[in-house]
Amino acid sequence: MPRKFFVGGNWKCNGTKASIEELCNSLNKGESVESSPVEVVCAPPAIYAQFARERLRKDFHIGLQNCWMGKGGAFTGEIAAEMIKDMNFDWVILGHSERRHISELHENDDTVAKKVEYAQTVGLKVIACIGETLEEREAGHTQQVNERQLAAIAPKVKDWNRVVIAYEPVWAIGTGKVATPEQAQEVHLFLRGWLKKNVSAEVAESVRIIYGGSVNGKNCGELAKQPDIDGFLVGGASLKPEFLDIVGSFRSSL
């Protein structure tokens, strides 16, 4: 069975009530994807999640950008997975490169793996992010880094149908640089091969592996044609009307 295309919009730490309402109004003008082979999830800042859901079209789902690694309690400033589920949001982004590499946050592989494991226990679906820095790529360590990060997550996954792997080369996020379709396909193929060898052939064939890194309305079509790229995790362009063009790129994969 073909893998259903997936497009996530990570709004990051951006927005006001006015700008989010404007963005939702713009995205609501797009063609319905309710019966199309594409799944769309937008992740606004947590404080605006309910505000966005009340205004955003119903065929686009709302997720959160992060959650705590365990049950709620005396963890000031954190959001528990149970809280996300209690508000009827189904998706959460975990292990994003900015949470891994911004020095004040600096989540490691073990922290990300714990979050992935716990989020599933309360029924959340997970967009799990991995990816190498420019220094790691230039040193020839692209496969090694992505293998290490995926290997930390894989044993914690209980149901691969509820997990999307997002390959995000750190050097391409917010820089305007984008991996060529060939570079992205090479890593996606490697990741699928790793899953086949270390998890199962069934999981390798069915799991969705999406690309993130300066994806926009102009480059998404060529990237979507690659056989192992199953969609995108979009940053800056998810705050613009061109996000609809990226959602529509699923047609290039058919």
Give the active site residues. Answer: 96, 168
Backbone phi, psi, residue 63, to 5°: -130, 175
Compute the half-sphere exposure of residue 63: CA atoms within 13 Å on the CB side of its CA.
28
Q: How far apart are CA 241 and CA 149, in angstroms?
A: 33
Closest CA to 169 of 145, 139, 152, 189: 145
Q: How far apart are CA 17 and CA 42, in angstroms?
A: 16
3-state class percentages of the chain: helix first, strand second, coil last, to nearest 5: 45, 15, 40
